[in-house]
Amino acid sequence: MSKLGQRYQSNKGVNCACGAPAAVLGQCRRCYSLARYRDKRAGLPPPCAAPIFGPRKPTKPLCKVEGCLHRQVNQRLCQAHLDEQKRASRTGKSRRRTQAKRVKSKGATLQDLEQLRSLQQGKCAICLVQLQPGTMGPWAECLDHCHKSISPRGLLCQACNISIGKYETFQREAGLRLEPYDRYLSSTPYQEVLLRRLALD
């Protein structure tokens, strides 16, 4: 039998001072709860915490940011303020380097990205919503590319970027035909950027 079971077993046949059957340490549940509440208000440890539950784990102190009520994770900061500090520590140069790597992985350059922005006037090529570069969410700017040829196609919002991938996957099986998607896939903005570049050369 566990220590907690032994504690309850030892109170059988014993009554609390209020007359109710004892449950813990010779007290009924109500009197024991009130006593623990009074001890807690007075800053005293509960009488049976150590023998039954063992030593309590020390809790981490609060975040050092004034007014924050979350516990510390690292560097005396909570997780939210730690992430915020990491984002703020990144310089503009490192952001541009990261963006250049992402764009290069899709077969384009930062120059192509700027030309696409000016050609599309900062709007999604399918739904024409105003894009929000450098943000997260459905209107975030995404560089769409063909997964087969690894060539860029245009700038889309996140919602259209996800839906165009599903449309390409299932349109052959289901026979779906949607005019905005077909128009975008037949003549992508990046093709126009290439034609303008060839004309200038």
Calculated CA dihedral for residues 194, 166, 171, 132, nearest 10 degrees: -40
Average pLDDT of the residues of the chain? 76
How many C-beta atoms lie closer than 10 Å to residue 76's C-beta? 14
Q: 164: closest CA among 144, 135, 141?
A: 144
Q: Tell whether the model's pLDDT for residue 79 goes beyond 60.
A: yes
Q: So what's the pLDDT on residue 92?
A: 62
Q: Tell whether the model's pLDDT for residue 127 goes beyond 60.
A: yes
Q: So what's the pLDDT on residue 82?
A: 87
**How confident is residue 45, by pLDDT bands cut at 50, 70 and 90?**
low
Token pair, residue 153, equals 């196609």
125 vs 172, higher pLDDT? 125
Token pair, residue 22, equals 């004892």
d(CA 138, CA 72): 32
Mean of pLDDT values over 131-151: 82
**How confident is residue 54, by pLDDT bands cut at 50, 70 and 90?**
very low
Domain ranges of the chain: 3-53, 59-89, 99-200
99-200: CATH class: alpha beta
d(CA 36, CA 41): 9
**How confident is residue 172, by pLDDT bands cut at 50, 70 and 90?**
low
Angle between helices 110-120 and 92-105 (to 10 degrees): 80
Q: So what's the pLDDT on residue 101?
A: 76
Strand partners, 86: none
Mean of pLDDT values over 165-185: 79
**For residues 38 and 32, is the Cβ–Cβ distance under 8 A?**
no
**For residues 81 and 73, is the Cβ–Cβ distance under 8 A?**
no
